[in-house]
Amino acid sequence: MVRILVADDNPAVRSFLRSLLEQQSTWHVCDLVPTGAEALQRVNENPPDMILLDFQMPDINGIEVAKQIVHRFPEIPILMVTIHLSEQLAEEARKVGVRGMCAKWDVGSIVEAVDKLLHQGTYFPDAFGRTPLDSRNTA
């Protein structure tokens, strides 16, 4: 059984993520926490197999929480699930060791991302609204 910790300040989102994840027969949400500090405490006390982490929480943002977790437990994959999806945030997340990011409203992506991370992969959206001009070689 894969043990997953979910950290999000919105109780409805925590409940939604739990029911979504537990539709998979081998996934179990072992902890639901509303703050970054509680996520850090629970991970330190009983490290899960996987973490779903919101970016914007009332105390410590998800990037800082992820940075601290990755420092102590680099083997635990972290998926950032956020409404603030952007290329800049994805880059910040990658730099601190977050292995994936997806939008809270994209149910299919969340399940796919968790599965990829559990199999040593990464999951970041291919495009953040880039136009062909943004990707051209100007050198």
Average pLDDT score over the chain:
90
The answer as to whether 132 is a domain residue is: no
The answer as to whether 83 is a domain residue is: yes
The answer as to whether 130 is a domain residue is: no
The answer as to whether 139 is a domain residue is: no
According to the model, what pLDDT value does residue 37 have?
Answer: 97
The answer as to whether 118 is a domain residue is: yes
Give me the domain span that covers residue 116: 2-125
What are 58's two structure tokens? 């009332």
Whole-angstrom distance, CA of residue 90 vs CA of residue 66 = 13
Whole-angstrom distance, CA of residue 122 vs CA of residue 128 = 16
| 3-state DSSP assignment of residue 21 | helix
Strand 27-33 with 50-53, pairing? unpaired
Number of domains in the chain: 1
Give the tens place of pLDDT for each residue, 7-21. Answer: 999 999 999 999 999
| 82-116 as b/e: b if 16+ CB within 10 A | beebeeebbebbeebbbbbbbebeeeebbbebbeb
The answer as to whether 9 is a domain residue is: yes
The answer as to whether 67 is a domain residue is: yes
Whole-angstrom distance, CA of residue 111 vs CA of residue 24 = 9
Give the tens place of pLDDT for each residue, 86-114. Answer: 899 999 999 999 999 999 989 889 999 99
Say whether pLDDT at 1 is over 90: yes
E-only strand ranges, 55-122: 78-82, 100-103
| 3-state DSSP assignment of residue 49 | coil
The answer as to whether 134 is a domain residue is: no
User: Which CATH number covers residue 79?
Assistant: 3.40.50.2300
Percentage with pLDDT > 90 across the chain: 83
